[in-house]
Amino acid sequence: MLSQQMTKFVVSYGKLLDPDVTAQQYLILQILSGTGQRNSSELAEELDVTLPAITNLTNKLVRKGYLERRTSDADRRSVNLHLTDQGREVERRLVARYKELTQQMWSNFTEQELDLLLASYQKMIDSFQHIQSQDPDSDSK
């Protein structure tokens, strides 16, 4: 039940930010805003998704005019993804909207509730990290 509620929260929150940009597309915009460029393999690794999934996500962002592909000057076989001016503006707008929404959302919590929430999230993260360190298929040991 908790997992369903978390999923509903994330999906609802994403729709409030921008119904035309999925959570993963938003993360791609954020990554590229901070780094300037990445190739598809780097994005797939950073988001822990498959290369075909990244290709699908970035193709949609290219069609929307938010990203462009550029061949590398160092290696013409390598293609990097860059934010366009339009993509940079969308990312800025989404960050501003995120800040606006979170300020409203967190203002409804008491300090004790926030402390409990943060402690609970930290406990979840610690549990995930422990499980991952025990997983023989995990490559992050």
Spell out, as residue ranges, where the chain has pLDDT lower than 70. Answer: 1-18, 138-141
Structure confidence at residue 55 (pLDDT) = 94
Q: 14, 23 in Cβ contact below 8 A?
A: yes
Structure confidence at residue 73 (pLDDT) = 80
Q: What is the pTM of this model?
A: 0.68
What phi and psi values does residue 94 have, to the nearest 5 degrees? Answer: -65, -40
Q: Which of 107, 41, 28 lies closest to 68 in space, CA to CA?
A: 28
69 forms beta bridges with: 81
Q: Which of 72, 35, 89, 37 lies closest to 58 in space, CA to CA?
A: 37
Structure confidence at residue 121 (pLDDT) = 85
| Radius of gyration of the chain, Cα coordinates, nearest whole angstrom | 18
Structure confidence at residue 141 (pLDDT) = 42
Residues 131, 136, 139, 141, CA torsion sign: positive
Q: Which of 124, 106, 97, 78 lies closest to 30 in space, CA to CA?
A: 97
Does CATH number 3.30.70.260 belong to domain 2-108? no
Structure confidence at residue 123 (pLDDT) = 93
Q: What is the pLDDT of residues 16-57, one digit of tens each?
A: 666 778 888 888 999 999 988 899 999 999 988 999 999 999
Structure confidence at residue 52 (pLDDT) = 95
Structure confidence at residue 2 (pLDDT) = 55
Structure confidence at residue 62 (pLDDT) = 96
CA–CA gap between residue 31 and residue 25 (Å, rounded)? 10
